[in-house]
Amino acid sequence: MSPGYPTHRLHSVRHADLIHVMKDGQVAEAGSFPELMGETAATGDFRAAYLVQASAFADSLPARRDAGTSPESASGA
């Protein structure tokens, strides 16, 4: 038997062998990370929640200084 790992931080379960998605006290989806992120997942709840969390994290990152510049343009070549 393996230990359970309840979490709301969905990125932390990316490498788990089996993920159970709970909804209203019942298992709504179960599978590996790739299976739950696939277009054919049972409810799509995990995928939708993961994408919301990922976009919120990406929005909080500071802008890269070199965004949109190539090494050639940065060196004046």
Q: Domain residues for 53? A: 10-60
Whether the pLDDT of residue 70 is over 70: the answer is no
The more confidently predicted of residues 3 and 17 is 17
> What pTM did the predictor assign?
0.64
Is 72 part of a structural domain of the chain? no
Six-digit token string for 5 = 């790992």
Number of domains in the chain: 1
Is 3 part of a structural domain of the chain? no
- State pLDDT tens for residues 4-54: 878 878 888 888 899 999 889 999 999 999 999 987 776 788 888 888 888
pLDDT at 30: 92
Burial 19-48 (b: 16+ CB within 10 A, else e): bbbeeeeeebbebebeebbeeebeebebbe
Is 4 part of a structural domain of the chain? no
Residue 30 main-chain phi, psi, to 5 deg: -150, 140
